[in-house]
Chains A and B, each alone.
Chain A
Amino acid sequence: MTVHLPGDLAHEFGAPAHHITTAENLNALLQELDRQYPGMANWIAEVNGSVRQHLSVFVDGRRLEPTAALTTSLAHAQEVWILRAVSGG
């Protein structure tokens, strides 16, 4: 599956914006990202495990509920987008 990160997050951590992974759920994905880019998981999820309020996670076009996000299976997902709104105009 391909995981797409917000551009400024990827830039700040020196990570590619698009990440290939076989993580089975979002929690495993965050652990994987954090191993490669220390601190990134904390940027994406709260300490209590919920996705941060200002982020939206879309799995194959469907938005995950923040409270369910970390335990939701990604086993059959093709595309995961971690999005954050920007406001510049």
Chain B
Amino acid sequence: MMARYQRQMVLGEVGQKGQRRLLNSRVLVVGAGALGSAAATYLALAGVGTVGLVDGDVVELSNLHRQILHDSDQVGVLKTESAQRRLGALNPDVRVVEHPVFLNRDNTLGIFAPYDVIVNGSDNFPTRYLVNDAAVLLQKPLVDAAILRFEGQLAVFRPGLGCYRCLFPEPPPLGTVPDCAVAGILGAVAGVMGSMQAVETLKLLLGLSNDNRLRIYDALAGTWYPVPFMRDPACRVCGDAPTVSTLIDYENFCGVAAGLDDRGSGVAGEWSVTVDEADSLLADPNLLVIDVRDPREYAAGHIPGAVRLNLEDLDAWVSHHADQKTLVVCQVGIRSASATEYLRLNQMDAWNLAGGTRAWEASGRPLSQEDAQNT
């Protein structure tokens, strides 16, 4: 049985003793998606004795460019079932425990209880805060990661040394942070971050982990940046006087229960519209679409009829268009959100296109490279 791990046991930091420790360990991976696929794969290959997987989703075709536990034959199959088959084939020594459910305030503590370490690969904020709070309440180490576009964030939270809420006490307002469906993700970035979660988990199990850093991976620059952090004494979960002593309604905490949908990136969430919602605005002949990107971006493709406006010229523009109903557009909805908020502060009837021209194009609507004009 141990022969499988010979190259790993050669490492002085592992050895036979460490390998036995791994074989007797229990790790729970939350989410059998992109991060969870990579993390669970390396944990199983390393001989972690019990690997639990929590996920209520089924495999979809759009998952396959980054979720390496699943393949085309598994589309429509529960992710935990698909993962169990793959991990079992990779290493039959490992006991894979399926939890084919979505975590909530009622089931999380019970699911977490038997495990030594929690690995968080969830894909939404309510689950991230739920997983964090449950790990703190149960005094279990949490290996957390998140990804977007070409960026990854990784942190190891050990009991008593800080938690996710010490980094981000409040969830972002709904719609201010895009998800991978809107902003995109390079599949291999998820592989890097999930593999790093496995590395950090193995270090924890082997007693080799001792630092408190958020690590930020910039795939475009090819660099890692360590951001040291400390436990926040005012943290509501792990601080000196915690006010969260049991799990709460995380959908409500993150604003999801308010019935708002995802408005994409930007600071003007309440004035953001999706591409579909923009259709009704565009039906108004008095609506003006202004594009706040630079001339090069505008020339490469803009919404037909949109006029270009430099952000620095916004102030002057407002003074001459006080009654103008406006839809503001940029590449992904960040610059336009700032502009929209500014227009709203000036009492203008302005709207932000969530996801920008990228979402517009992704919806199948045309972009124009003609009638380039500036205001």
Contacts and interface: CB of A to CB of B under 8 A. Distances in A.
A89 B121 CA distance: 5
Nearest to B292: A39
B183 interface: yes
A74 B180 CA distance: 34
Interface string B203-240: 00000000000101010110001011110100000000
Nearest to A81: B227
Contacts of B171: 54, 85
A63 B123 contact: no
A87 B128 contact: yes
A84 B171 CA distance: 10
A47 B151 contact: no
Contacts of B33: 89
B312 interface: yes
Given A8-B151, A43-B267, A87 B176 contact: no
B295 to A, nearest CB: 12
B80 interface: no
Most buried by B among A4, A12, A53: A12
Interface in B151-172: 151, 153, 166-172
Given A61-B228, A85-B146, A39 B166 contact: no
Nearest to B229: A61
Interface stretch (B91-99, B273-281, B338-346): B338-346
Interface residues of A, number: 33
B60 interface: no
A85 B345 CA distance: 26
Nearest to B194: A89
Contact of A39 (B149, B168, B311, B331): B311
B22 interface: no
A56 B167 contact: yes
A43 B128 CA distance: 24
Most buried by A among B36, B153, B265: B153
Q: How large, as a class, is the contact surface on chain B?
A: 35 or more
B35 A89 contact: yes
Given A63-B232, A83-B167, A85-B168, A12 B330 contact: yes
Given A39-B311, A86-B148, A54 B173 contact: yes
A12 B310 CA distance: 14
Q: Which secondary structure dominates where chain A touches chain B? A: mixed
B27 interface: no
Contacts of B218: 7, 17
A68 to B, nearest CB: 12
Contacts of B310: 38
A61 B227 contact: yes
A5 to B, nearest CB: 11
B31 interface: yes
Nearest to A43: B338
A14 to B, nearest CB: 7
Nearest to B124: A87
A88 B146 contact: yes
Contacts of A29: none
A60 B213 CA distance: 12
B26 interface: no
20 contacts: A7-B218, A8-B151, A11-B149, A12-B332, A38-B314, A39-B311, A52-B176, A58-B227, A79-B227, A83-B214, A84-B172, A85-B125, A85-B168, A85-B171, A85-B172, A87-B128, A87-B179, A88-B146, A88-B179, A89-B34
Interface of A: 4, 7-9, 11-14, 17, 38-40, 42-43, 47, 52-54, 56, 58, 60-63, 79, 81, 83-89
Given A11-B149, A43-B334, 13 more contacts: A8-B149, A8-B332, A17-B221, A38-B312, A58-B227, A63-B167, A83-B216, A85-B125, A85-B167, A86-B147, A86-B151, A87-B128, A89-B121
